[in-house]
Amino acid sequence: MVLHKRQGETLGMGAAPAREVTVVERPIQIKALSNPERARILTLLIERPGTAKQVADWIEGTRGRVHYHIKELEKAGLVELVAKVEKGGVIEKYYRAVARNFYVAQGIGEHGGLTGDVRQMISRSMLGWRRREMLDVDQDEIATRVVRDCLLTSGGDVVLVQGAFAHRDIIQPLVKAVERLGAHALVSYDGRSQQDYVLKWKEDIASIIVIEEPIEYPANGVTGTDTGATHGPEFLKDLVRSGMRHLYAGVPGYPLESSAFREFVESGKRIIYMGYPTPEKAEVMGLDYRALHDAWWTALDVDYAALSAHCERLAGQLGRSAEVHVTSAGGTDLTFEVAGREVFIDDGVISKWETEHRRGWGHLPAGKVIVAPVAGSANGVIHSEMSDYFGVPIRDIRIQFRDGAVVSATAGENEELLDLVLAEGGDAGRLAGGFEIGTNPQITNPVGYALWDSKSHGDATVWIGDNRLIGGENEAPLSWGFIIAEPTVELDGETVLAGRTFRFGGGDVDGDA
């Protein structure tokens, strides 16, 4: 066997591509990638070098057709010849992708000539590079923390991972993490039969990881435009007016929204719910997808033991207090009572105590402390720069409370939608339901999605509506949160939070988790 090196270089057959990133911008490159089969071949050649025959075997194609596609990719500058190996008088040519990641100059996958499969390949490749190089996020380490620290998985456990094929960037590391701990992973991509599956095997399954997009929305509320699918406030107004809002009010994948998940939790098992960002959801929410992607991965990248200790400390002080006073530069000035209320912690860690008390469920990203105000005690005003309703932003919100109920509400944007939802929620939907303080040190800039923004370090959320899950008595058709940026929080006159800095007894300052 004779190995002919490329231009005299010393290149091992397992060597990585020479470059980390290549920008795809020339028409010949766009044309080459417009063929899904070539995109698939390029993906394989990112992972390892191969000959036309080897690639044909990998994709179960014909050698001649694959050779043609490789030559087209080579002409476009996307793959290159890395070695020639002589076997029995025949020269075998090995090709490899010129880079680990490919970025379309107009933005990830925005070029009209690219198919959906190609856009997804480019997006996943580039986002993987962003996680490693820009965010310094190790998804395998994050998965290990989730499985080991949040679910307390031990050898022999069976962990069910429920998600979709689009979620494999997190599903695959989770499965590996489960197996590294000597446990067993099951993966289900069929949410439709999930409830029956859970109930049938609940004795064998120790825990479940539910992976979903961050929000769900009514499919017939999406309309086509020149820029793609949009989901606007007008449809939501019509939805509320029609009395059909309840059909879409549940949070997808939320453990206690399904009878099967409730029964699973009540049997002393654990469920973690993970919202997962996708381009479609970012568009619905009016957010930049990369901003949503980055926020999610960095918010997961926390020390859960430290986060838990921080939450316990804050919860202890809140639990010993009688009155809470919240103010902010935006005009918030609200007081309410919490004496006798139990304080709940969302730290991502499902403890043994929580499973024994049938509370073995949680959300990721995590990081907040929660309490239900005493009924009838909330008085004053809150100012929230933004909340969202099914991803539609409502901005510059001012809500007045009297004796625990909303008596007036205004907004600088989408006020009519705010009024309609409040009216549809009825009297119970206008009652102060909960108060939360965010503690996740990696979330410092709310992105406009309440499930994540409520964990923003040093920010607070006041929400209205149903609060039975946190020890309240109010049964309502909605639970709706309004974030208060950089508040000052006083407990019985003592400041515990100001300028996103936590202050605990004795004058010490705890600025992060």
Interval 421-480: pLDDT, tens? 899 889 999 999 999 999 999 998 777 777 788 899 999 999 999 998 888 999 988 888
Give the whole-number percent of the chain exceeding pLDDT 70. 76
Overall fold of domain 2-121? Arc Repressor Mutant, subunit A (1.10.10)
User: Using CB atoms within 10 A of its CB, is residue 373 exposed (0-12), middle (13-18) or buried (19+)?
Assistant: buried
Residue 123's pLDDT is what?
62
Q: Hey, is 473 helix, strand or coil?
A: coil
Residue ranges per structural domain of the chain: 2-121, 137-298, 304-510
Crossing angle, helix 116-129 and helix 36-47, to 10 degrees? 30
Mean per-residue pLDDT, 237-262: 53
Residue count of the chain: 513
Residue 491's pLDDT is what?
97
Residue 452, C-beta contacts closer than 8 angstroms, at least 6 positions apart: 214, 275, 295, 296, 299, 365, 443, 446
* Least confident residue range of 155-169, 251-265, 417-431: 251-265
Rounded Cα distance, 38 and 32, in Å: 7
Q: For residue 149, what is the enclosing H or E element?
A: none
Can the peptide bond before residue 477 be classed as cis, meaning omega within 30 degrees of 0? no
Q: What is the pLDDT of residues 175-210, one digit of tens each?
A: 999 999 999 998 887 654 566 666 677 788 899 998
Residue 425's pLDDT is what?
86
Sheet with 479-484, strands from edge to edge, namely 344-346, 368-371, 432-438, 460-465, 479-484
Residue 267's pLDDT is what?
83
| Predicted confidence (pLDDT) at residue 65 exceeds the cutoff of 80 | yes
| DSSP class of 372 | P
pLDDT band at 124 (very low <50, low <70, confident <90, very high): low
Buried b (16+ CB within 10 A) or exposed e, 38-71: bbbbbbbbbeebbbbebbbebeebeeeebbebbe
Does 137-298 match 2-121 at the fold level?
no
| Predicted confidence (pLDDT) at residue 294 exceeds the cutoff of 60 | yes
Residue 276's pLDDT is what?
84
Mean per-residue pLDDT, 500-506: 82
Token pair belonging to 138? 């190790």
Rounded Cα distance, 372 and 432, in Å: 8
| DSSP class of 373 | P
Residue 46's pLDDT is what?
85
Residue 219's pLDDT is what?
40
| Residue scoring higher pLDDT (377 or 450) | 377
Token pair belonging to 118? 């190609």
Q: What is the pLDDT of residues 465-490, one digit of tens each?
A: 999 888 899 998 888 899 999 999 99
Mean per-residue pLDDT, 25-48: 82
Residue 246's pLDDT is what?
46
Q: Which long-range contacts (CB under 8 A, 24 or more apart) does 111-119 make?
A: 111/30, 113/30, 113/31, 113/34, 114/30, 114/33, 114/34, 115/34, 115/36, 115/39, 117/36, 117/39, 117/40, 118/33, 118/34, 118/36, 118/39
Spacing of C-alpha 439 from chain mean position:
17
Q: How many CB atoms lie within 10 A of CB 26?
A: 12
Rounded Cα distance, 339 and 354, in Å: 22
The distance in angstroms from the start CA to the end CA of the chain is 58
Place of tokens 């510059």: 396
In this structure, the dihedral spanned by the alpha carbons of residues 371, 258, 355 and 296, taken in order and rounded to 10 degrees, is -70
pLDDT band at 10 (very low <50, low <70, confident <90, very high): very low
* Least confident residue range of 33-42, 65-74, 221-230, 267-276: 221-230
Identify the CATH number of the domain defined by range 137-298.
3.40.1830
| DSSP class of 492 | T
Q: Hey, is 248 helix, strand or coil?
A: helix
Residue 221's pLDDT is what?
40
- The string of DSSP letters for 318-345 reads HHT-SEEEEE-TTS-EEEEE-TTPPPEE
Q: For residue 170, what is the enclosing H or E element?
A: helix 168-180
Rounded Cα distance, 373 and 410, in Å: 22
Place of tokens 């004779």: 2
Rounded Cα distance, 406 and 384, in Å: 14
| Predicted confidence (pLDDT) at residue 237 exceeds the cutoff of 90 | no
Instruction: Give the residue from 511, 150, 181, 510 showing the smallest Cα distance to 304.
Output: 150
Residue 266, C-beta contacts closer than 8 angstroms, at least 6 positions apart: 358
Residue type, 371: V
pLDDT band at 362 (very low <50, low <70, confident <90, very high): confident
Residue type, 357: H
Q: What is the pLDDT of residues 73-96, one digit of tens each?
A: 999 999 999 999 888 888 899 999
Q: How many CB atoms lie within 10 A of CB 29?
A: 21
| Residue scoring higher pLDDT (133 or 508) | 133
Q: How many helices (H) and strands (E) does the chain have?
A: 16, 26
Q: Helix H segments across 76-130?
A: 116-129
